[in-house]
Amino acid sequence: MSATAAIQWPAEAIWEAVSPALPSFSVEILPQIDSTNSELMRRARAGQTEPILLVAESQTAGRGRLGRDWLSQGASTPALTFSLGMPLHMADWSGLSLAVGVSVARSLHPALQLKWPNDVWFEGRKLAGILIETVNIGSTRYAVIGVGLNIGPREAVGLSTPPAWLQELLPGIDAPQALQRIAAPLVQAVQVFETQGLAPFLKTFATRDALAGRAVTLSDGTHGQAQGVDSSGALLVHTDAGLKKISSAEVSVRPV
């Protein structure tokens, strides 16, 4: 057996599961790219706006929220890194990251929690991050939904939140198997969000809300107690100055 045996990705099975409800959908696997989000944003700006799942076996310049890097280095097993690009016809985008997080967590394990607005946590550590970007295309928008998921043990060096990895919960799982579990339900969840908004996801978010009832600090220094999310997905924080609604994705929230 070659030491560099190619990774077997379930591209066809995912395409077969998704394409009946999304006929122009495709799946593409790349050995390496700077960032799957950057690549789909470039393609969308160049007019390629069909729905696509783009998976990269490695990223050289993975990006996270708030201008941070998303590092794949320091992991014993390659992380799962992919972006789902979809044109979406909707006015209100608020809460999409919550719907995506609910779908990813639901596909993987009942013990996973969601840390507003974009992280999947296990026991207070970060298992996965979600980065959503959009491009205007005429009267509609193209959403690029990027997911980075730790599969095997990784070092905490350089990370703002200690890492968790999926093999803690599902021993032996690899990136292709994780993708197989996540991809088709995620496309379906985004389609549900497009027609019905955040409402169908709120109950599950509440049961998995990692911050609910906890003391938190916002990036502007405000302290308070997290009290769930409202119907638009804004985080509700009880502070000395009253109830604050945090809807800006630019705000970071840390449990104390």
Residue 116 CA: distances (Å) to CA of 130, 163, 185, 241: 11, 16, 21, 21
For the question of residue 203 being annotated catalytic, the response is: no
Nearest 5°: phi and psi at 27?
-125, 130
Q: Shortest distance, CB of residue 208 to ligand BTN, whole angstroms?
A: 17
143 and 51 in contact (C-beta within 8 Å)? no
Restricting to residues 134-193, name those near ligand BTN by CB under 6 A. 146-148
For the question of residue 65 being annotated catalytic, the response is: yes
* Catalytic one of 126, 141, 154, 208: 126
Quick note: the x/- pattern for ligand BTN over 88-127, rule CB under 6 A, is: ------------------------------x---------
Residues binding ligand BTN: number (CB under 6 A): 20
Token pair listed for 62: 């993975």
Q: DSSP for 20-67?
A: TTSTT-EEEEES-BS-HHHHHHHHHHTT--S-EEEEES-BSS-B-GGG
117 upstream amide cis, omega within 30 of 0 = yes
Task: Figure out which of the listed residues 11, 37, 187, 211 binds ligand BTN, where binding follows CB under 6 A.
Answer: 37
Residue 66 CA: distances (Å) to CA of 63, 118, 133, 219: 9, 11, 12, 11
Q: Shortest distance, CB of residue 218 to ligand BTN, whole angstroms?
A: 17
Task: Figure out which of the listed residues 51, 62, 85, 95 binds ligand BTN, where binding follows CB under 6 A.
Answer: 62
Restricting to residues 203-232, name those near ligand BTN by CB under 6 A. none
Show which residues are catalytic: 65, 126, 254
Residues making contact with ligand BTN (CB under 6 A)? 35-37, 59, 62-65, 68, 70, 81-83, 118, 129-131, 146-148
